[in-house]
Structure 1
């Protein structure tokens, strides 16, 4: 009985548990039903709202079919819409908010916008376009990378595929940064410096394009600084006009620059070309402006050997070089540069200039460019000249009648003696045919000149002439009309103002050689005696002959000769030690470094005598002294360009324990930038420059070296020390100028500094007054910087590399001139790949790349960077 009761209790307990479970599930189902009911209610509300919006849109579409002119109204905010439920958000289509409120008219449909395909070129422009495209269409950042792939092709698409396959695509900003690094301009290019150095080289439009391209890459410049950069790079004539107009902003300046350029071009097109009047017909049987034919120069074999030994040209007697060209024998005239003779660009010719061109030869002769023949300038008598003795204001003067001179000239000294009124002349400079120039001292107008029985009123130009007091040229001969010359008997005839005039020229006296025994007899005849002495002159020391530019004018040469005389001590060979200076060379060793003592090694036997000779010379000059220092380095000789030997010491072990001096040494680019815009250059070469700097007394023992004869130490700075270039750089100066006058001033200042610090130069290696000069493997001139042809010749003749070292040397030489070669990186890429480890495999493809690279360098031999 008890067991049955226990079983019944167990059954009832299970039934109670099942009932409670059913009740719990029923309550859960009820909660779910209520939640679903609420969700369906929200869904119905949202759909009703959507239906209302669709109804409004249908009303708007119906209104668009009817013509109407709605009144303007403010743009209201878009109407809020009920957001979709989170559980259905991923299934509802994306609906952008309405940009136009109900009742307003939709704008016209925009044209389809296309983004150009990106091939790898013009990366910054493409990024600018596609960023604007994404911004306009409101493309989210996480979709932009995927969409950008559809606008890539070629090399750019291949790069994108590589990023995709290596999982390097994270977000849009990182993608833009990587694209700029891969395809954008190199960060090595200094855009700020390029913008500041930009100059107008062609039209204003081209200059604007370059300026805008660079200014977009430069940040941090306000409009005022950009305006100043723009104005400073314009052509000088346009720049002056804009400075006067004072543009208020950059856009006004760009517009004004184009207008000024159009004005200048229009002025040049309207300016007529000046045509000089034809020369008058010949008035005499013999031409009056023809010089005697140049004699043929004949040299005997002995003279030819002497000329060859001196290194002179057989034809012109000047120094002969491999590229020597004889100066043209221009003995006819001196051409005068007429300053301010042409109207400025953009201005039409004045009425006076029209009258000068249209007038007759006699009326416009005084305005033509005057010239004087070489024979008249030097006072030589040739068949086309005639010497007379006539008078001005009662004073006799020696006159040279010369048909090769255009105007009349008078000596400065004679004009002062005659107290003639000197007026400023329009012809201030006279250019000689070989590039020299003479300065006119003024002009004397309407001077009475008595020639024979006739009196002429002549205009005279003051000029430093020799051999005659006065030169009468074609300007005077034109007044005579028909003239009859007899060059053999030296007389001339003409009619002037109804009178016949005959002028007899002076004959050259004939000198005769006499013996001493006949001197008493000739003395009684009243003859004049002259003694002729012949003295052998040794050729000039090449070390004392400077190299002067062939285009240097006479004014510069005269001033430079005075400089050489006044500063002759700086061109002497230095004797003794240089004075102590603040730049004495110091050798600071690392803490705890022991004395450097290098074991000597062998050198060629034929160098022993040369080492003994050089050591003896340095001992006598006081450059070195015997040493007992614990330091010791080895000696070696290096051959110079002139086949002499340079004494050097192997200081590599000493340099390894020397603390480096960080004194700034300018780079090649900085040095070339400093001389940009200069027209005249001079180059000074210090005689044994390092030996003109003393070693600090505390560091003399560290320079000790050993030879086969003994142990010595330097008192001056030797070659090979690690900090020697830094010490020497602190003493250097560069000399370059814009004009000849300022160049003389600069040379005077530099020579004065050299004399003050007792620095000596080697005159034979100096170059003065050159319009182009070799500098650090470049040719610098007023036009800009060009490549040294000798370096290009080395590139052209470089053999095919068989080792990595040879290829690295070739690329190093070419890289020095990389800015002269277009697309340098792309052309050098196949060769640069071979420099990697275990990658040097020479194939026909690399041979073709090597030849193409050489041709690209050779093609840029004559290119110039301004």
Structure 2
């Protein structure tokens, strides 16, 4: 047998294991004692990191192994125990703090930090250093700045944790946080929330406010915020503690929720049940408006609360909530037929409490039928009254009742609308179903808001319809043209059937033939068909009429939304890499303090302004208050004690929202101005030549990304009704703000400006010749923005596009175009009625004057309307006004200047004005025009043409000065500009100015110089004169006796000639009036030619445009040749004919060419010229000296 082990004997393996455990415990105690003993000699770094030995701090890669000390049972003292406690390896750390400006987050972090510091028993002198290691982001930046400021001021380091918490509270909590928390506690009401939710917020606010009150006071405060019906019931139990009141409220909430679900009616404040609504409508003169949820009163049906606790077991001494007697519960009440709700006497009058009759248990009950929409053949009609489905159950909240019914065997769509005063059937349903109509006994007019017009209701029809299996009805309906549905059931149907509407379920119920009918709504379809091919809008006049006729008008206004940023696939990885440059919102806190801040230097001795705040409407004031609080929460402004102040105001933006601005005119008057240059728009556009890829970046709130110079914040103070604030970032409205912004942008993007970047304030345009190079350019710019901590508005940026809208122009590889939106504004501009309106139009049109040939001359009549004291809109002004609109609509594409190619300058002039065109490669670069006024109108033709050349060269000097250009003019005398011996003083100054330039002057006849020639002439002066000559009525008699037209008249009457037509007795050849042989032919030619004494061909063209006779060409030529004025004023130059090439020689010295070289210095023999003889075959040349005069 194996030996038996005694009960007290321990196995060998277990004994060995126990000895090892004891030995390890002793080693741990020994190491702990050594650690405590060496604590006083450790530096702070080792104190915070006990696992790092001194050898490791010195950098020894292989720290020496410590000798194991003998095991002892000595205990460490209390201080050692405390130190070991907070430096233990337990993973409990103070959470990171990033400087959040949300008070709840900050206070929660403070509480957690206190708990952890107490739990770990961190020494008081080490708490600040330990917590500071957990600062991140804005908090870390604030801590570094705080330490630097104390160091500069010579103050010691902050080591008291309580003082540090005070500093943190001052920095990261709003100044009025304590007051706001107390106000929240004072105004705390349960409202529509559950008891648990209300209680949670109650305890949180107690902690935040550090309230010290007795239990009775706390119970009163807690119960005072409960809903009225729960409060009255809780008071019956007279709770002693808040916990007891909470438990009672939970029980009552669960009871009310259960009763509500069981079908018993809960009502108060003048409401009605579905059963007695119709009967009591005559007695109830009006219901009191419901109280908002913030006041704690119950205003309507709510969802039952599921998260309630089960009531505790109680004794039988309860009071019934129904009859008020003791000894039984509400569920056991012997008289459940009547129910009285407890009403807060402070909220309601005694008459508002309503007794609602419930059905007796023994009463006769009616059966209930749930009626859904009918199905079958659908009579289609377009639907517009529904909204797209958003989610399960959510569609009930935003959709009116709509379903289907059956009319004459066809399924039709119907709508129940309590706002309609009549029952309505659509014209389309009546027509398709063949319903008989009759004359309406009381016709009336109906206005559809959407269609913007009125219709007369003069027909009605008796409509029989059915819903489900048991409800069949008929009623009179007015016939109206509508497309929302086929049948609209309004107030008459609801009144006659005593309909009850469940607003939560959107169902309609009523009793029909002793059966309860419940109509269920249909879900909206996922797709909505367009109800019309056109959009009908409400006119302004109709809107004014609606406002005058009714008290309340609801208008739906469309709002243009900003589309999301479209990123091409090639740029998507790059944008993802720099996602921090495109945040959704501007980062909270202050931007970095860069080298350039906004300086505000005031004039010495100037009086500081102190302006009162502007008065505003309640809506405007609330919006201003909201924006101020938002800016304050972001850290952009702070409260101020500045001695100067200016008012704040709201400016409407394009999208209908408001922008807060500061009226800084008073402070700007005493501010020293700095003249940093703002870039010219023309200079920016000139840099874009040759670019085909464009990217536009728009900074988000660019001004707010620049700091105010420390110490100048008080100079930006502004007032509102709530108080005085000052800016920490650069606001709008300061005089030197644009210069500061351009300085910052130029400093940041200086390496790229002029190479592939142009900057105009917060708009950055990147341009490149090809996509590969463009991606590299975008990366370089985004790197700079990230380095400088700038952020851009993603929705306003455009990436890698061949065409971009920049500063009002559309820029592409083809050139410069007009922004269509601006042109649309000019095109739809109404006729000006005042001088101010004329100036507004003139300013908008002048922005695009570089696109309009002869802009000054066309706008001259409009400009004249602005000079007089009394406004007078003339016919000439209207013609110029309409002509500007037309020319902007057809504005050409202007090419961007290429400075490597020569420029061409075309100039011309007239008595009205001068004009010029700068072009390259036959395409216009820009147009220039100037209206002649004063003494220049009396210049001679030569002087005006000369003046046009000088002014055009001055205007485009920056284009023409660097290299040779070609100057075209249609004035032949200007070719001898540099060879005149005697010139006037005016010509001398002009000639001296032109000698700075290198150009080739070429003459271009006016016929071929059409571009510049059109610039200097008014179109309305070139219109054809309409000749009105008495005696045209005699043509009817002369046609039959005319040798040529008599035969044509016979053919026309017999309808054998389709080329001629007879109208009112006058014969026409197309649009030409036929003139019979008479003296009026010569009179017509004389009047048309005498208007401008144009040449033969032009006169013939003008005459033939309106008239016809067989010998028209011969008579026009004869008259023009004999015109006395033309003979005196015009020469008789004849055409030289075509040039012919010389014959090609076949042998030397048989065909020679000769020429003279004159004007040479005289030789000793008196020769001053060279006679040059060239053999055209061999090109051999003989130079023979000779004399000019023999």
- Structure number with greater CO (CA < 8 Å, separation at least 6) is 1
**TM value normalised by structure 1:** 0.36
**TM value normalised by structure 2:** 0.26
Identify, as 1 or 2, the structure richer in helix: 1
